[in-house]
Structure 1
Amino acid sequence: MTTAIRPSGKQGALLIAGILMIATTLRVTFTGAAPLLDTIRHDYGLSTAQTGMLTTLPLLAFAFISPLAAGVARRMGIERSLFVSLLLICAGIGIRSMPSAAMLFTGTAVIGCGIALGNVLLPGLIKRDFPGQVAKLTGAYSLTMGAAAALGSALIVPLAQGDAGWHGALLMLMVFPIVALLLWLPQWRQTPAATVTGAGTLHNRAIWRSALAWQVTLFLGINSLIYYIIIGWLPAILLSQGYSETQAGSMHGLLQLSTAVPGLAVPLILHRLKDQRGIAGLVALMCAVSTAGLWFAPGLAVIWSLVFGFGSGATMILGLTFIGLRASSAHQAAALSGMAQSIGYLLAACGPPLMGKIHDTAGDWRIPLIVCGLAAVVMAVCGMLAGREREITLH
């Protein structure tokens, strides 16, 4: 158990502002580069599969660094650990913006390490300091993250077409973590008394033998797989279908903005449902329909982008909700969260380079989009199984 003084007044407002600003850095600094992947590939002479590694490296960092975040927080405190995560993101952006292919990949990996720390620790901070406002702040967190990502995707191509080029455009994304650092500076002085513990996870390996745990894990994991394939390759898919770079960047931004909308709607709907089977199947099938639509009716790409974003965002929120609903204790919830996160990000890391390789071999995006659609159908089945009103029982 941990204890912390509940923030109030100006201190609480400053803390919330810092939390929301950190949230902006956890997606835009990673996905903001996606509309420029085709330009980067051309300038450095990379294959499509090699370019896909720019999406895969952060995901590998998420998978392997996330389990270490609790240990870092135990030693430094959550506030200082989040400050370090912002420093890593700033350093990574600077390295990535250097005119070197090696620095591009190195900086991307460093950014992934910083985001991994933030991904794990920020929700824990909200749970610790605002236990009565978790749902409200999570909705604000999701909306802020999606809005920042959408803004970055919409602006990155026009910035890259200016005098600074795409290197300068990527460097300009540093404004998000710099502002976050300034807002978070007062939290550095907080004493590291309240920490995160991962002991429960270590003593609950039996969760890996639970069918229900695997259903929750695959529901979240397949969503991560599909989301990062689409978020990484959507601009390239649209360019191949005749859209301009600016149009592709705008639709990429719309998709990310639409992932934030379910954060406001889904929690309100869940309270009225006996179980979550129907809504889990529905939002997963939205992903299936939209990925198929991107190939069979590319003229409606704006609609498919919005539908996919909403479906994927709702699936993520449902999956995170399942972790709390299906676990029978706090320790079990931690174990399930660790299992779902590690498997999910490993699946997601495999997706972009594999689909890039298939594209290089086949010459178009038909097979990758069909694979995403079929995977979304499997995700719907897992979601309907995970949505049953029951808890994990371990023997």
Structure 2
Amino acid sequence: MAHGRAGRSRLGTWLLVAAIVAVALNQRPAVVAVAPLLADLRADTGLSSALAGLLTTVPVLCFGAFAPVAPRLAQRVGLETAVGASLLLLAAGIALRLLSPVALLYAGSLLAGAAIALANVLLPAYVKREFARPGAVMGAYSAALNIGAGAGAALTLPLADALDVGWRTALGLWLFLALGGLVLWLPVAGTGRSRRGADVPPGGSWSLLRHPLARRVCAFLAMQSVQFYAVAAWLPTLLADAGVPTGEGGWLLGLSNVVGAAGALLAPAQAGRMRGQRPLVAVVVAAYAIGLAGLLLSPASGTLVWVCAWGVAQGSGFALALTLIVLRSPTPLVAARLGGVAQCLGYLVAASGPLLLGALRDLTRGWTWPLLLLLAAVVPMAWAGWGAARDAVLPVDERAPEPVSAG
């Protein structure tokens, strides 16, 4: 376990980690729980496929659009209060989707996406502030993201069937997880009033991009996110086109998330022990290359190996990208600002991945060129990650010309 800051007992540290994990578990189910219920949702509301698809697209776009708001909120009210506010906003978004008008279904999805965008940025910054060695806690946080996503996808429909409830109530069940996270967060993390405005560097978030180090961190997160969302959207279809049974394709996608959770747990913990993280970048890049090349050359043979390799790549890659934001930042609010910029750019770029891959597949009537494009995209990812993983941190004053050595 990472060491907490001075003045906190071992029990207090464990409770704080549990609160962080509880918040992380809430950052995906409200989004991914929609997909298993789309058939019932469309039958009840009469929505077209395109409009129904927006319910899963809107939150991802919100992840990018609202990410830059998080550092400003943290500066105004403190990190702890801002995280608590994100959970309240998430609960409100989930509750709105319980109401009948279809417009409120979209409003709830937008609120939930905005809430998750705030927590996406704020939690790594909070970990940066509270733990002298944040790697292990970032691993637990990243693994909880994967577990929450898997739970939302796998449990929503079975819970609805077991409780004999409709799709609205099934979506609303995740409200209990959000409220539970809030109940655990508030007494452990506090209100943050004493820290409001602390460690505030001069300048704005986007001015960080004047530094090559910040640009590399942002590019690594963006390229990794493109890979994840593009493959996750089309993997079952790709495998089905190669002759793999449709049900097996969905199971393999779920397996990749489980494998990804293990990678997400281990990569940040290891990163926190290293002065530079270039060996980990090399592992992520190699795993992507193996997984994508296998799906290109032999999708129906050795499928389990290729999917697991991709799972390792996406789980450890995303976790490493978040950890690099923390490790390359000198203060928690610089971490929040860098995270806001990186996730804004990353998620907005990532949203184009599934569309581009689908369009290329339709144009070429196959998966060869889409997979070659993803393989080619591994090269700029490696370049960005190699620079982002060097032993350096950004200057506290964003107007300073160069990063400084982390050692």
User: TM-score, normalization: structure 2?
Assistant: 0.78
8 Å Cα contact 2:28-2:152 kept in structure 1: no
8 Å Cα contact 2:121-2:339 kept in structure 1: no
Structure 2: tracts of 5 or more residues without a match: 395-399, 403-407
The residue aligned with 1:179 is 180
Q: Give matches, 1:131-210, under 5 Å.
A: 131-159=131-159, 163-186=164-187, 190=191, 192-195=193-196, 199-200=200-201, 202=203, 207-210=208-211
2: CA distance between counterparts of 1:34 and 1:366?
27
The residue aligned with 1:8 is 9
Per the alignment, in what secondary structure is the counterpart of residue 66 of structure 1? coil
For residues 318-362 of structure 1, what are the alpha-carbon distances to aligned partners after superposition, in whole Å with 9 as ceiling and x for unaligned?
333444555677776565444322221221233334445556666
2: CA distance between counterparts of 1:256 and 1:78?
29
2: CA distance between counterparts of 1:10 and 1:274?
29
Aligned residue type for 1:317? A
8 Å Cα contact 1:21-1:180 kept in structure 2: yes
CA pair 275-74 structure 1, distance change in 2 beyond 3 A: closer
CA pair 301-84 structure 1, distance change in 2 beyond 3 A: farther
8 Å Cα contact 2:239-2:299 kept in structure 1: no
Matched, 1:260 2:261: yes
Further displaced range: 53-62 or 215-224: 53-62
CA pair 97-189 structure 1, distance change in 2 beyond 3 A: same
2: CA distance between counterparts of 1:304 and 1:170?
33
2: CA distance between counterparts of 1:12 and 1:265?
20
2: CA distance between counterparts of 1:347 and 1:77?
29
Matched, 1:125 2:126: yes
The residue aligned with 2:377 is 375
Aligned residue type for 1:195? R
2: CA distance between counterparts of 1:210 and 1:188?
33
Structure 1: tracts of 5 or more residues without a match: none
1: CA distance between counterparts of 2:245 and 2:204?
52
2: CA distance between counterparts of 1:124 and 1:330?
5
1: CA distance between counterparts of 2:328 and 2:190?
37
2: CA distance between counterparts of 1:141 and 1:114?
17
Identity %: 34
8 Å Cα contact 1:159-1:165 kept in structure 2: no
For residues 17-59 of structure 1, what are the alpha-carbon distances to aligned partners after superposition, in whole Å with 9 as ceiling and x for unaligned?
22221110012322343455577678755346x5553343223
For residues 239-283 of structure 1, what are the alpha-carbon distances to aligned partners after superposition, in whole Å with 9 as ceiling and x for unaligned?
6665445x4554333222222222443346547867544431331
2: CA distance between counterparts of 1:251 and 1:201?
47
Matched, 1:22 2:23: yes
Aligned residue type for 1:383? G
8 Å Cα contact 2:80-2:191 kept in structure 1: yes
2: CA distance between counterparts of 1:377 and 1:205?
25
What's the Cα RMSD here? 3.8
8 Å Cα contact 2:134-2:272 kept in structure 1: no
Bigger proportion of residues as helix: 1
CA pair 42-214 structure 1, distance change in 2 beyond 3 A: farther
The residue aligned with 2:405 is none
How much has 1:287 moved relative to structure 2? 2.2
CA pair 388-42 structure 1, distance change in 2 beyond 3 A: farther
User: TM-score, normalization: structure 1?
Assistant: 0.80
The residue aligned with 2:84 is 83
How many residues align? The count is 389
Per the alignment, in what secondary structure is the counterpart of residue 71 of structure 2? helix
